[in-house]
Protein backbone atom coordinates (compact mmCIF):
# COMPACT_ATOMS: atom_id res chain seq x y z
CA UNK A 1 0.00 0.00 0.00
CA UNK A 2 1.27 3.45 -0.86
CA UNK A 3 -0.05 5.97 1.65
CA UNK A 4 1.08 8.96 -0.40
CA UNK A 5 -0.74 7.97 -3.57
CA UNK A 6 -3.48 6.14 -1.67
CA UNK A 7 -2.90 3.03 -3.78
CA UNK A 8 -3.77 -0.38 -2.52
CA UNK A 9 -1.41 -2.90 -4.01
CA UNK A 10 -1.03 -6.30 -2.46
CA UNK A 11 2.60 -7.15 -2.02
CA UNK A 12 4.26 -9.08 0.72
CA UNK A 13 7.00 -7.48 2.72
CA UNK A 14 9.23 -9.69 4.82
CA UNK A 15 11.19 -8.03 7.59
CA UNK A 16 13.45 -9.40 10.28
CA UNK A 17 11.97 -8.98 13.76
CA UNK A 18 13.56 -6.21 15.80
CA UNK A 19 13.62 -5.67 19.57
CA UNK A 20 12.63 -2.02 19.23
CA UNK A 21 9.67 -2.77 16.92
CA UNK A 22 10.60 0.08 14.56
CA UNK A 23 10.82 -0.73 10.85
CA UNK A 24 11.80 1.35 7.86
CA UNK A 25 9.87 0.25 4.77
CA UNK A 26 9.49 1.37 1.17
CA UNK A 27 6.38 1.01 -0.95
CA UNK A 28 6.44 -0.11 -4.59
CA UNK A 29 6.71 3.57 -5.57
CA UNK A 30 9.87 3.99 -3.51
CA UNK A 31 8.29 6.12 -0.75
CA UNK A 32 9.86 5.46 2.63
CA UNK A 33 7.85 5.08 5.81
CA UNK A 34 8.49 4.16 9.40
CA UNK A 35 6.24 1.48 10.90
CA UNK A 36 6.08 0.89 14.64
CA UNK A 37 4.88 -2.50 15.82
CA UNK A 38 2.89 -1.64 18.93
CA UNK A 39 3.00 -4.94 20.80
CA UNK A 40 4.81 -5.96 23.93
CA UNK A 41 7.52 -8.55 23.69
CA UNK A 42 5.44 -11.16 25.54
CA UNK A 43 2.76 -10.85 22.85
CA UNK A 44 5.26 -11.13 20.00
CA UNK A 45 7.02 -14.10 21.56
CA UNK A 46 3.74 -15.91 22.07
CA UNK A 47 2.83 -15.38 18.43
CA UNK A 48 6.28 -16.60 17.40
CA UNK A 49 5.58 -19.74 19.43
CA UNK A 50 2.34 -20.27 17.54
CA UNK A 51 4.15 -19.83 14.23
CA UNK A 52 6.95 -22.21 15.24
CA UNK A 53 4.39 -24.83 16.27
CA UNK A 54 2.41 -24.43 13.05
CA UNK A 55 5.66 -25.03 11.14
CA UNK A 56 6.35 -28.18 13.18
CA UNK A 57 9.15 -26.80 15.37
CA UNK A 58 7.97 -28.01 18.76
CA UNK A 59 11.14 -27.25 20.75
CA UNK A 60 11.30 -23.72 19.36
CA UNK A 61 7.62 -23.24 20.14
CA UNK A 62 8.18 -24.21 23.80
CA UNK A 63 11.13 -21.84 23.97
CA UNK A 64 9.04 -18.95 22.64
CA UNK A 65 6.08 -19.69 24.91
CA UNK A 66 8.40 -19.86 27.93
CA UNK A 67 10.08 -16.59 26.96
CA UNK A 68 6.64 -15.04 26.50
CA UNK A 69 5.70 -15.95 30.07
CA UNK A 70 8.97 -14.51 31.41
CA UNK A 71 8.45 -11.27 29.50
CA UNK A 72 4.91 -11.11 30.91
CA UNK A 73 6.43 -11.24 34.39
CA UNK A 74 8.63 -8.29 33.40
CA UNK A 75 5.61 -6.40 32.05
CA UNK A 76 3.71 -7.09 35.29
CA UNK A 77 6.64 -5.98 37.45
CA UNK A 78 6.75 -2.72 35.55
CA UNK A 79 2.99 -2.24 36.02
CA UNK A 80 3.24 -2.90 39.77
CA UNK A 81 6.13 -0.46 40.15
CA UNK A 82 4.52 2.16 37.92
CA UNK A 83 1.41 1.93 40.08
CA UNK A 84 3.65 2.66 43.10
CA UNK A 85 5.23 5.66 41.40
CA UNK A 86 8.51 3.90 40.52
CA UNK A 87 9.45 4.28 36.85
CA UNK A 88 11.99 5.77 34.48
CA UNK A 89 15.68 5.54 35.27
CA UNK A 90 15.05 4.13 38.77
CA UNK A 91 13.29 1.14 37.20
CA UNK A 92 15.79 0.81 34.34
CA UNK A 93 18.84 0.85 36.62
CA UNK A 94 17.39 -1.69 39.04
CA UNK A 95 16.12 -3.91 36.22
CA UNK A 96 19.70 -4.27 34.97
CA UNK A 97 20.38 -6.36 38.09
CA UNK A 98 17.50 -8.73 37.25
CA UNK A 99 17.26 -8.80 33.46
CA UNK A 100 19.47 -11.87 33.01
CA UNK A 101 18.15 -13.77 36.03
CA UNK A 102 14.77 -15.38 35.39
CA UNK A 103 14.49 -16.83 38.92
CA UNK A 104 15.02 -13.39 40.44
CA UNK A 105 12.44 -11.94 38.06
CA UNK A 106 9.93 -14.56 39.15
CA UNK A 107 10.67 -13.77 42.79
CA UNK A 108 10.22 -10.05 42.18
CA UNK A 109 6.95 -10.71 40.35
CA UNK A 110 5.57 -12.92 43.13
CA UNK A 111 6.46 -10.49 45.93
CA UNK A 112 5.17 -7.42 44.06
CA UNK A 113 1.96 -9.29 43.22
CA UNK A 114 1.44 -10.19 46.86
CA UNK A 115 2.25 -6.65 47.99
CA UNK A 116 -0.06 -4.93 45.52
CA UNK A 117 -3.02 -7.24 45.80
CA UNK A 118 -2.86 -7.27 49.58
CA UNK A 119 -3.42 -3.49 49.52
CA UNK A 120 -6.74 -3.71 47.72
CA UNK A 121 -9.97 -5.60 48.24
CA UNK A 122 -8.21 -8.90 47.51
CA UNK A 123 -6.45 -8.77 50.88
CA UNK A 124 -3.71 -11.31 51.21
CA UNK A 125 -4.38 -12.81 47.80
CA UNK A 126 -1.54 -15.18 47.03
CA UNK A 127 0.00 -15.07 43.57
CA UNK A 128 -0.77 -18.07 41.40
CA UNK A 129 2.36 -20.05 40.61
CA UNK A 130 2.69 -21.50 37.12
CA UNK A 131 2.13 -25.27 37.25
CA UNK A 132 5.27 -27.11 38.47
CA UNK A 133 4.71 -30.01 36.03
CA UNK A 134 4.65 -27.58 33.12
CA UNK A 135 7.75 -25.81 34.43
CA UNK A 136 9.51 -29.18 34.58
CA UNK A 137 8.30 -29.89 31.02
CA UNK A 138 9.75 -26.55 29.88
CA UNK A 139 13.06 -27.20 31.64
CA UNK A 140 13.33 -30.69 30.15
CA UNK A 141 12.76 -29.30 26.66
CA UNK A 142 15.03 -26.25 27.01
CA UNK A 143 17.85 -27.63 29.16
CA UNK A 144 17.82 -31.38 28.51
CA UNK A 145 17.01 -31.28 24.82
CA UNK A 146 13.78 -33.31 25.10
CA UNK A 147 11.73 -33.38 21.92
CA UNK A 148 8.13 -32.57 22.85
CA UNK A 149 5.13 -33.88 20.97
CA UNK A 150 2.71 -31.55 19.27
CA UNK A 151 0.03 -32.36 21.87
CA UNK A 152 2.41 -31.62 24.76
CA UNK A 153 3.23 -28.23 23.24
CA UNK A 154 -0.46 -27.47 22.72
CA UNK A 155 -1.11 -28.22 26.39
CA UNK A 156 1.84 -26.02 27.42
CA UNK A 157 0.82 -23.15 25.13
CA UNK A 158 -2.76 -23.24 26.40
CA UNK A 159 -1.52 -23.05 29.99
CA UNK A 160 0.78 -20.12 29.22
CA UNK A 161 -1.99 -18.34 27.31
CA UNK A 162 -4.52 -18.85 30.10
CA UNK A 163 -2.05 -17.71 32.76
CA UNK A 164 -1.16 -14.53 30.87
CA UNK A 165 -4.77 -13.79 29.93
CA UNK A 166 -6.11 -14.22 33.46
CA UNK A 167 -3.34 -12.15 35.04
CA UNK A 168 -3.56 -9.44 32.39
CA UNK A 169 -7.29 -9.11 33.06
CA UNK A 170 -6.51 -8.87 36.78
CA UNK A 171 -3.89 -6.18 36.17
CA UNK A 172 -6.25 -4.19 33.94
CA UNK A 173 -9.04 -4.45 36.53
CA UNK A 174 -6.90 -3.26 39.44
CA UNK A 175 -4.26 -1.04 37.82
CA UNK A 176 -5.75 0.10 34.52
CA UNK A 177 -3.90 3.41 34.44
CA UNK A 178 -0.50 1.81 35.10
CA UNK A 179 -1.21 -0.90 32.49
CA UNK A 180 -2.09 1.75 29.92
CA UNK A 181 1.06 3.75 30.67
CA UNK A 182 3.30 0.68 30.40
CA UNK A 183 1.57 -0.38 27.14
CA UNK A 184 2.02 3.10 25.70
CA UNK A 185 5.68 3.17 26.70
CA UNK A 186 6.62 1.05 23.70
Same-domain check for residues 25 and 51: no
- Report the chain's mean pLDDT, rounded to a whole number: 89
Contact (Cβ atoms closer than 8 angstroms) between residue 22 and residue 16? no
Same-domain check for residues 117 and 143: yes
Same-domain check for residues 8 and 100: no
For residue range 44-58, list pLDDT tens digits in order: 999 999 999 999 999
Distances (CA, A) of 87 to 48, 145, 174: 29, 38, 18
Rounded mean pLDDT, 132-147: 96
Same-domain check for residues 19 and 48: no
* Domain ranges, residue 10: 1-37
3-state secondary structure of 123: coil
Same-domain check for residues 33 and 49: no
Amino acid sequence: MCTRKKQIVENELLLEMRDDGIYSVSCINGHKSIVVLNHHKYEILFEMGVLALSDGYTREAVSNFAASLERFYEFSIEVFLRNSGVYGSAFEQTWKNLKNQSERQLGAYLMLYLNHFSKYELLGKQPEIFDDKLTKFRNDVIHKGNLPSYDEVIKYSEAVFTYIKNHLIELKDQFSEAVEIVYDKI
